A and B are shown apart, each in its own frame.
Chain A
């Protein structure tokens, strides 16, 4: 079954508010990445957090990783209308026969209203 499942599936907020998206996964991972996709276009890498890291920041983005709960969260602070997009988490397996495999979640659709 697919791992890297995001929650919520859709999120609608006002400009200036914070947006939090969660991602859960099932197997041991090497790292977890978050990507953004504007409608029908290519994916843009946002941030990567390694399995031995707990928190990472990049501009208005904050990512946390809890390997004991197999979950991660992406926080976008002070959101803007331009943040409207789909956000995906993706995990790389740590080992075994699936080493090298990258698994994406189904994504969270974020809408930021001006």
Chain B
């Protein structure tokens, strides 16, 4: 089954404790991206990647890091999480350059205390 998986689905952590949210897709998609969703602000793109070893900043990259060492994986790293990073995070993937349907993961609800 074609899917995007994210882990963990829920995470409560404390300020400053490094964490990684994993994202994996099984559709051989070139393009992957991370979004955060906050009430009243909609979805905002954090980072995106057009292929292995190619990443670019989205609208709100501050405080986040990503890597794309393999085509299927695109982890999101918070080196020193802060409370303003409490949010609902989504990973997505699609083909490139066809710009077809974006497939979204189920979301990761992160709370930073």
Please report A residues at the B interface, Cβ cutoff 8 Å. Answer: 2, 30-31, 33, 35, 40-45, 48, 88, 90, 92, 100-107
Q: Which residues of B contact A2 (CB under 8 A)?
A: 42, 44, 59
Number of A-B contacts (CB under 8 A): 63
Partner of B42, one of A33, A101, A106: A106
Contact B48 A101 (CB under 8 A): yes
Listed by A's residue number, 30 A-B pairs whose Cβ atoms lie within 8 Å are A2-B44, A31-B99, A33-B102, A35-B102, A35-B104, A40-B88, A40-B109, A42-B90, A42-B105, A43-B43, A43-B90, A45-B103, A45-B104, A48-B100, A90-B43, A100-B31, A100-B50, A100-B56, A100-B96, A101-B48, A101-B56, A101-B58, A102-B33, A102-B102, A104-B35, A104-B43, A104-B44, A104-B45, A105-B42, A107-B42
Q: Which residues of B contact A106 (CB under 8 A)?
A: 40-42
- In the complex, whether B101 has a CB less than 8 A from a CB of chain A is yes
Please report B residues at the A interface, Cβ cutoff 8 Å. Answer: 31, 33, 35, 40-45, 48, 50, 56, 58-59, 88, 90, 92, 96, 99-107, 109
Known: A2-B42, A101-B45. A43 touches B104 (CB 8 A): yes
Known: A100-B31, A100-B56, A106-B41. A41 touches B99 (CB 8 A): no
- Inter-chain CA distance A53–B50, complex, in Å, is 25
- Inter-chain CA distance A100–B95, complex, in Å, is 11
Contact B107 A33 (CB under 8 A): no
Q: Which residue in chain B gives the minimum CB-CB distance to A45?
A: B101
Q: Which residues of A contact B107 (CB under 8 A)?
A: 40-42
Contact B48 A102 (CB under 8 A): yes
